[in-house]
Amino acid sequence: MKQLSVMMKPASSLCNMHCRYCFYTDVSKCRTQSSFGFMSIEASKRILNNIFSQLNAGDTLTMAFQGGEPTLAGLEWFRQLTDEISGLSQGKIHVNYALQTNGLLLDDAWLYFLKQHDFLVGLSLDGPRSFHDSNRLDASEKGTFQRTYAVKQHLDRLKIPYNIMTVLTNELARHPQQVWNFMEDCSISFIQFIPCLASLDADNSPQALTPKRYAQFYIHLFDLWFQAFKQGTYRSIKLFDDLVNLLSSGQVNACGLTGECQQQIIIEADGSVYPCDFYALDEWRLGSLQEDNIRMLSESEKAKLFSSRRKPVPPQCSDCPYRQICGGGCPRMYREVFCSTKNDICGHRTFLDASIERLLRLAEAAR
């Protein structure tokens, strides 16, 4: 039985917010065509046929939707898509749904739809209000914290499963205690921190994380998390969960966690397929799912080249005791998490130095 995951961008890079650090805006600006507009329902049907043609009874398909802001495609588009998928799966292929969203369009009709189809929602919320509102702005350049937090409360009320997705900027990383307090005060049970990345064509940007700040943030946050865990309170912080799982079972639950690129299937609004969300660029376009099936694209020579391409390996890796569980990390996060061009500090190694003994104890308990 196969397990297949795809990420679809039904509104391409279009968004109803103007976040100061948006990585996909940066990616799309580096393409010949920055936005492919909205995916038509006719195109989505051809794409789905070329996905389901490679699936068999008993297989599992995870359909994730991201952007830009995917809800801009409209609720009716999503309804037609899920109806089409239901007809193709015929109850023989298990389908999971996930949606990454800023939440601004999630009214009662949207929330009912998400609950009806068992969507896992990733809600973008950047911690305490002052941090969120300084970067996550709407089209009128106004902060969006109040509206986003109201959506979180509606998700809680309707018991729709969700994770909080927080972009870890260099400024936010200065305040791990405030972040932890916010998690406690707002009863956040599942959270993932995404390193804020510098532009593809720049060494740095005002919001971009640095290895030093990464280490300081996670060292302090891990202390708080571990203390709460010992006292019987567990909150899921994805990096910590992924590391414990890796140490206990050897399983890799996050792309780049051990330095290897796990091929993704990123589907842009015109059907173009790319092997990674960070590299949805002209040079890495694998083809179109409107024309070819998903196996042909994922097994193409360009896909293999992407996975096997040479990656920058910091000099510190040569004597690093964590090389087997890191491998230099995700190449797109090289400057922000591992080794910047301005110093020789590896943020991830510094964090592991401070926490590895406790991580190993947790891994042993998990086994």
Q: Which of 63-77, 192-206, 294-308 has the highest mean pLDDT?
A: 63-77
Supply the pLDDT for residue 301: 94
Catalytic residue among 277, 282, 344, 353: 277
pLDDT in tens, 56-96: 999 999 999 999 999 999 999 999 999 999 999 998 999 99
CA distance 44 to 41: 5
Q: How many Cβ atoms from other residues are within 10 Å of residue 152's Cβ?
A: 18
Active-site residue 277, yes or no? yes
Supply the pLDDT for residue 329: 86
CA distances from 5 to 59, 128, 196, 204, 296 (A): 11, 32, 24, 32, 16
Q: What is the 3-state secondary structure of the chain?
A: CCEEEEEECCCCCCCCECCCCCHHHHHHHCCCCCCCCCCCHHHHHHHHHHHHCCCCCCCEEEEEECCCCHHHHCHHHHHHHHHHHHHHHCCCCEEEEEEEECCCCCCHHHHHHHHHCCEEEEEECCCCHHHHHHHCEECCCCECHHHHHHHHHHHHHHCCCEEEEEEECCCHHHCHHHHHHHHHHCCCCEEEEEECCCCCCCCCCCCCCCHHHHHHHHHHHHHHHHHHHHCCCCCEEHHHHHHHHHHHHCCCCCCCCCCCCCCCCEECCCCEEECCHHHCCHHHCCEECCCCCHHHHHCCHHHHHHHHCCCCCCHHHHHCCCHHHCCCCCHHHHHHHHCCCCCCCCHHHHHHHHHHHHHHHHHHHHC
Supply the pLDDT for residue 218: 98
* Half-sphere exposure (Cβ direction) of 43: Cα atoms closer than 13 Å: 18
* Half-sphere exposure (Cβ direction) of 160: Cα atoms closer than 13 Å: 27
Q: Tell me what the pLDDT averaged over the chain comes to.
A: 94
Q: pTM of this prediction?
A: 0.94
pLDDT in tens, 258-293: 888 887 999 999 999 999 999 999 999 999 999 999
Supply the pLDDT for residue 341: 60
Supply the pLDDT for residue 219: 98
Alpha-carbon Rg for the chain, nearest whole angstrom, is: 20
| Peptide bond connecting 68 to the previous residue in cis, omega within 30 degrees of 0 | yes
